[in-house]
Amino acid sequence: MSAITVMCFGTFDGLHPGHEDYFRQAHEQGDKVVVIVARDSTVVDVKGDLPSTNETDRLQVIQEHPLVDEAMLGNLDDKFRIIEEIQPDIICLGYDQESFTDMLDVELTRRGLAISIIRCHPYFPDTYKSSLLRGARVTDADFAEETEEEGIPL
């Protein structure tokens, strides 16, 4: 039986416990988690602003994460080409991801790709959402304390 590859996408501008939970949920779906980090220009196109951390630094943080097997920057031109190149078995989307997702299933079919799409569940969305955390620093100690209180295994 071959390994099941799961692909995730995001900006990951300031890695926080919500992102880590996203990776954890993706890891539960398969054997190998591949994360595509949005290019700076893509973030500007989607969100209207540059991320606070540049793409190279954001990529490095994701590459070093223990739940991520492989991480790379997205393509500048065809945002869906990387899916064709990797050919994951499953794509895990964040609970609030909207960019490039509304017609994802149609685009995959158009390209002849049979890939399952899973929408992950939110993790304390009123606390751990990048737009809420801009300017606030969440530490590993904060994360460990909250997950311990909630009985969530790390």
What is the per-residue pLDDT across 79-108, written as a single tens digit (0 to 9) for each?
Answer: 899 999 999 999 999 988 887 788 899 999
The domain limits of the chain are 5-149
**Residue 69: which pLDDT band, with cuts at 50, 70 and 90?**
very high
Q: Any idea which architecture 5-149 has in CATH?
A: 3-Layer(aba) Sandwich (3.40)
Half-sphere exposure of 92 (CA within 13 A, CB side): 24
pTM of the model: 0.79
For the beta sheet containing 70-73, the strands, ordered from the edge strand earlier in sequence to the opposite edge, are: 70-73, 32-37, 5-10, 90-93, 116-119
Q: For the segment 132-153, what is each residue's pLDDT rounded down to a tens digit?
A: 444 443 444 443 344 344 444 3
Percent of the chain at pLDDT exceeding 90: 66
**Residue 120: which pLDDT band, with cuts at 50, 70 and 90?**
very high
pLDDT at 125: 62
Q: How far apart are CA 55 and CA 57, in angstroms?
A: 6
pLDDT at 129: 52
